[in-house]
């Protein structure tokens, strides 16, 4: 959500359109937090926004627990403060495709705006009416008003066409007869089959160009990385230790990094997250420069500004792009070159493509008729710009086009896996090195943008042992990374240490719970007179001898009483037992149903989940519903209501990713 400085909702009389996303655990985006905090002021009267009429589009992802909560929160609060809808609220789901809701919502917006403005003008006319009006003028002003009103809405609509290509262009079948005949029976990224290949296409309008890039002969210095971040203060800290937690033959490689924050003002609690500012892969940047024909100019300074005479209304230079820097700096630190291209970007790339067949396929992929192909071959296949340029070699986009369409390179968020009480001046985190294998739409394998960079950065510190899961390596280097805090206001230990809690964290999902247990151990040592509730940890991995993370540490926590119950499972280890052991954490939870229900219902304990949303968190949630239903002797609907109450009370907490 971007709040424009020229608008003040407390005095705004015109209809207002609000578009807002959701981040973290159902929180509004950083750009909207001040606004949300302001409207949540309990002292505001119930008619504070009685003058306001608005339409709201919420953007979210149903893979996460608090779907569109940012939009729902703003919508609910504006209603409580007397604001009125002039258009129904839309909630778009990135899990199935935002465009399924966004496109029809925007299409219907124009009529709703026209009706709202018409009603507003009529009210103003009534307030300013005079008793006598000449009959000869009675229709004239009305016609002029209708024309003016239609013109206003049309101007808004045309502006939107430039931004998203809302209207469509129809391409006749006669225009595509020159395209090469089908070579394969199955569609692919570069090839279509009927009916798409034989359809007249409705493609988006071409977004207007609005960025101009000027190369400069003078030299200088690139901006500091902190200037790229709007979320607050950044800290450049050294990496003091790196440990490989998994064996070499494990399916995934898990690393633990330790950062030295002793000489900084960085503060955190166990359960918090923080963000790492990371660059794009060097070789990918070089490849992109080569394709752009700018290999020799990577270190040249460029000035980025708004193009004179652009048809894009209100055009400004993107905030994440510095006005002056080297070309490499922009491609390395500013643009998400791995981003999945939006349809508007594909539409713009059509104009940069010389081969007729390639141009037709790009048109199909951004068309309504090719929506299924776009989802399958681009969205679900995680295709990026480099993949497209490899698949469509006649496509030669300009640098300005990339700046216009590629989003900001986002900092990556990680859960803290340490306690400042246990390790003063140190911050630890754990991650799997993400691997993207080569495939039909991806010519080469890749590592995750941030995890691949971190793994390469700390490679000299890693000394894997052949006889154990990993060997610690103390750093003698001066490698530093830039970070900034991202506090998680909910995912913290219970304020009352006597309250019991359950932790579920398979794989690297165990990370925050190591911080929990470290913190709890220190509290037990420092406050021997306190009462501490029991603690449960459910952990799972593939193989006991390959990727059992923090095995020794967990045994120590268990031995000294910090951890009361440790339940583990291994999904790919073979077993000779007559009764097969449980493979997944949700299965182990069901085996401990009575104890889980006791902690949650009788002892009012807390339940924490960290890890993969799609393949774990939802299954754990289903298991808890089954447990509550069975132990309470209630139907499933009643059990779901109890779980919802636990979530509302912040006693069922998730830190998950998709």
Give pLDDT tens digits for 251-277. 999 999 999 999 999 999 999 999 999
- The CA distance from 528 to 465, in Å, is 38
Alpha helices in 165-199 (DSSP H): none
* Helices 551-559, 511-526: crossing angle, 10 deg rounding: 30
Is the Cβ–Cβ distance between 513 and 567 less than 8 Å?
no
- The CA distance from 470 to 254, in Å, is 10
SS3 550: coil
Q: Provide the pairing of β-strand 53-60 with 90-93.
A: parallel
Domains 16-124+145-164 and 501-657 fall in the same CATH topology: yes
Give pLDDT tens digits for 484-525. 998 777 899 999 999 999 999 999 999 999 999 999 999 999
Q: Looking at residue 349, what is its pLDDT?
A: 98
Going by pLDDT thresholds of 50, 70 and 90, the confidence category of residue 8 is: confident
Q: Provide the pairing of β-strand 480-486 with 565-570.
A: unpaired
Q: Looking at residue 63, what is its pLDDT?
A: 65
Residue with tokens 């008003």: 145
Q: Please state the domain extents for the chain.
A: 16-124+145-164, 501-657
Is the Cβ–Cβ distance between 368 and 168 less than 8 Å?
yes
Going by pLDDT thresholds of 50, 70 and 90, the confidence category of residue 173 is: very low
SS3 84: strand
- The CA distance from 259 to 475, in Å, is 10
Helices vs strands, H then E, count in the chain? 18, 23
Superfamily name with CATH number, domain 16-124+145-164: Flavodoxin domain (3.40.50.360)
Q: Looking at residue 317, what is its pLDDT?
A: 96
Q: For residue 405, give every residue at least 6 positions away whose Cβ sits within 8 Å of its Cβ, in sequence order, or none.
A: 207, 341, 342, 344, 345, 348
Q: What SS3 string covers 351-368?
A: CCECCHHHHHHHHHHCCC
Question: At the topology level of CATH, where does 501-657 sit?
Answer: Rossmann fold (3.40.50)
Nearest to 348 by CA among 382, 388, 288: 388
Instruction: With a cut of 50, say whether residue 180 has pLDDT above it.
Output: no
Mean of pLDDT over the chain: 88
Instruction: With a cut of 80, say whether residue 615 has pLDDT above it.
Output: no
Q: For residue 64, give every residue at least 6 positions away whose Cβ sits within 8 Å of its Cβ, in sequence order, or none.
A: 22, 26, 613, 656, 658
């Amino acid at each position: 959500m971007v709040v424009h400085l020229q608008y003040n909702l407390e005095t705004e009389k015109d209809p207002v359109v609000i578009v807002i996303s959701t981040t973290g655990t159902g929180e509004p985006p950083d750009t909207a937090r001040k606004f949300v905090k302001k409207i949540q002021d309990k002292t505001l009267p119930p008619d504070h926004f009685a003058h306001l009429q608005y339409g709201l589009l919420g953007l979210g992802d149903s893979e996460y627990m608090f779907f569109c909560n940012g939009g729902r929160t703003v919508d609910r609060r504006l209603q409580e403060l007397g604001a009125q809808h002039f258009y129904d609220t839309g909630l778009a789901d990135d899990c199935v495709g935002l465009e399924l809701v966004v496109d029809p919502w925007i299409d219907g917006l124009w009529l709703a705006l026209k009706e709202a403005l018409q009603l507003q003008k009529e009210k103003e006319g009534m307030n300013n009416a005079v008793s006598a009006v000449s009959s000869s003028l009675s229709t004239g002003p009305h016609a002029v008003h209708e024309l003016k009103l239609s013109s206003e809405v049309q101007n808004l609509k045309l502006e939107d066409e430039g931004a998203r290509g809302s209207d469509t262009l129809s391409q006749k079948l006669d225009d595509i007869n020159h395209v090469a005949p089908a070579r394969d029976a199955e569609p692919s990224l570069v090839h279509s089959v009927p009916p798409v290949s034989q359809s007249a296409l409705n493609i988006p309008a071409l977004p207007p160009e609005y960025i101009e890039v000027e190369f400069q002969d003078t030299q200088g210095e690139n901006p500091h990385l902190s200037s790229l971040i709007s979320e607050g203060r950044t800290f450049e800290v050294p990496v003091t230790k790196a440990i490989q937690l998994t064996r070499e033959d494990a399916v995934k490689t898990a690393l633990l990094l330790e950062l030295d924050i002793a000489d900084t003002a960085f503060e955190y609690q166990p359960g918090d997250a923080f963000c790492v500012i990371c660059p794009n892969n060097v070789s990918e940047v070089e490849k992109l420069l080569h394709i752009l024909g700018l290999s020799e100019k990577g270190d040249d300074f460029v000035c980025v500004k708004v193009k004179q005479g652009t048809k894009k209304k209100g055009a400004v230079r993107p905030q994440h792009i510095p006005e002056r820097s080297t070309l490499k700096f922009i491609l390395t630190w500013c643009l998400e070159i791995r981003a999945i291209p939006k349809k508007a970007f594909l539409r713009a790339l059509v104009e940069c493509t010389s081969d007729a067949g390639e141009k037709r396929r790009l048109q199909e992929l951004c068309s309504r008729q090719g929506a299924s192909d776009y989802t399958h071959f681009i969205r679900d296949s995680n295709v990026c710009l480099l993949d497209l340029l490899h698949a469509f070699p006649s496509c030669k986009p300009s640098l300005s086009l990339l700046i216009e369409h590629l989003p900001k390179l986002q900092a990556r968020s990680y859960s803290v896996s340490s306690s400042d009480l246990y390790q003063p001046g140190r911050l630890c985190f754990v991650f799997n090195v993400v691997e993207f294998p080569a495939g039909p739409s991806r010519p080469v394998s890749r590592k995750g943008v941030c995890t691949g960079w971190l793994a390469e950065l700390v490679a000299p510190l890693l000394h894997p042992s052949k006889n154990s899961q990993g060997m610690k390596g103390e750093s003698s280097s001066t490698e530093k990374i830039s970070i900034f805090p991202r506090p998680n206001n909910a995912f913290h230990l219970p304020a009352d240490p006597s309250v019991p809690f359950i932790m579920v964290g398979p794989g690297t999902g165990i990370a925050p719970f190591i911080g929990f247990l470290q913190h709890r151990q220190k509290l037990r040592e420092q406050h021997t007179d306190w009462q501490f509730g029991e603690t449960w940890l459910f952990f799972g991995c593939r193989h006991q001898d390959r990727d059992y993370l923090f095995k020794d540490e967990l045994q120590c926590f268990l031995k000294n009483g910090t951890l009361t119950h440790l339940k583990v499972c291994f999904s790919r280890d073979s077993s000779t037992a007559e009764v097969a052991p449980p493979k997944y954490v949700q299965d182990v939870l069901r085996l401990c149903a009575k104890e889980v229900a006791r902690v949650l219902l009788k002892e009012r304990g807390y339940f924490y989940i960290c890890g993969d949303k799609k393949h774990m968190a939802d299954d754990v949630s289903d298991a808890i519903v089954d447990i509550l239903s069975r132990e309470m002797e209630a139907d499933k609907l009643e059990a779901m209501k109890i779980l919802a109450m636990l979530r509302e009370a912040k006693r069922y907490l998730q830190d998950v990713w998709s």
